Amino acid sequence: MPSEGNIKSPPCGWPGSGQPPDAALGFALPPDCRISVIIPALNEESSIGRVIAEIPPWVTEVIVADNGSTDSTAQVARAAGARVAIAREKGYGSACLAGIAMAEHSTIFVFLDGDYSDYPAQMGRLIKPIADGSQDMVLGSRVIGQRQFGAMLPQQRLGGALATFLIRLIWRHRFTDLGPFRAIDRRALTHLAMDDKNFGWTIQMQIRAIRAGMRVWEVPVDYRKRIGKSKISGTLWGVLRAGYKIILTIFREAARPSPSEYRPDAKARSLSE
Ligand SMILES: Nc1nc2c(ncn2[C@@H]2O[C@H](COP(=O)(O)OP(=O)(O)OP(=O)(O)O)[C@@H](O)[C@H]2O)c(=O)[nH]1
Ligand SMILES: [Mg+2]
């Protein structure tokens, strides 16, 4: 069971900067829209507070998904106002699943990393196409966004290019990135029946979404150098494990029967400015 942080029920509006709920958004969120931000984090005590502080005030709740941090990540996250989900199993995907299980009331999920490399303030561009009902999933692409020098290591770019090339070859869909910063409608996410427990998580979500015929969109997001110690791309062992898992996930998904077609019941609506 995931454990709760200091917020017992989803608050109405993220207590960020004290601005009106959607001041920085540029459009009014539909009244039934509840946004949960899920941040997988493993030993990110030096960055997690800064990530949470930059999350826009119109977000409903922030859930930090931890599974085995030996530092004060959970305490720092709670002090910054987030709930903390503790997954029993290790791994990035397990953490995301624990966060999803805790976000019982949300209508839109946003995922981003806890190392301060994504820009939480850019979240609005991921949310809008989902809130207006025109897309089911929106991916933040670092490849079409601005990257700080050294933020994306050559092995990350090469791995991403190879994986997206294989997806294009097999499923004829052109992604530019497998980036962690993304948003998805709750019904779409449920339809995907996500079950990858570690580094296959992001690519599994992308492959299943296109195979189910979901409306998937990419928007540019910027990327900066992480704070703290890398778990994946900054170590040889991490790169080998993640690379192997990503390629394995592509072939595993290809061997599975296609998921049933997803039919969103939401109609596109125009959002007032
Ligand atoms: N809960 C949890 N989080 C994890 C796990 N592995 C990685 N993370 C988190 O997932 C995010 C991505 O991991 P990173 O170490 O930044 O990996 P990366 O982005 O490929 O590599 P960098 O270039 O070092 O940023 C970070 O917020 C990590 O703390 C895990 O096993 N459990
Ligand atoms: Mg990172």
Please tell me the distance from the alpha carbon of residue 106 to that of residue 141, in angstroms, as a whole number.
24
Is residue 19 over pLDDT 70? no
Tokens at 160, concatenated: 């991403």
- Domain regions of the chain by residue span: 35-255
Residue nearest to atom 6 of ligand 1 (CA): 92
Within 13 A of 77's CA, how many CA atoms are on the CB side?
31
Looking at residue 153, its pLDDT comes to 86
Tens-place pLDDT, residues 196-224: 999 999 999 999 999 999 999 999 999 99
Q: Which of 233, 232, 226, 230 is nearest to 50 (CA)?
A: 226
| CA 44 to ligand 1: nearest atom | 29
The distance of Cα 155 from the centroid of its chain, to the nearest Å, equals: 21
CA of 164 to the centre of ligand 1 (A): 20
DSSP 123: G
Looking at residue 267, its pLDDT comes to 64
Tokens at 139, concatenated: 């991916």
Tens-place pLDDT, residues 224-262: 999 998 877 777 888 888 889 999 999 999 999 998 999
Tens-place pLDDT, residues 137-181: 999 999 999 999 999 888 888 899 999 999 999 999 999 999 999
Residues contacting residue 79 through CB under 8 Å, at least 6 positions apart: 49
Q: Which of 85, 84, 259 is nearest to 189 (CA)?
A: 259
Fold entry, domain 35-255: Spore Coat Polysaccharide Biosynthesis Protein SpsA; Chain A (3.90.550)
The phi, psi pair for 78, rounded to 5°, reads: -65, -40
Its sign, for the CA torsion 178, 52, 36, 105, is positive
Looking at residue 240, its pLDDT comes to 86
Residue corresponding to tokens 């089911």: 136
The phi, psi pair for 264, rounded to 5°, reads: -70, 140
- The mean per-residue pLDDT over the stretch 53-77 comes to 96
Please tell me the distance from the alpha carbon of residue 67 to that of residue 88, in angstroms, as a whole number.
6
Reported pTM: 0.91
Mutation choice for ligand 1 from 115, 177, 226, CB with most ligand atoms inside 8 A: 115
Residue nearest to atom 17 of ligand 1 (CA): 232
To which H or E segment does residue 220 belong? Answer: strand 216-220
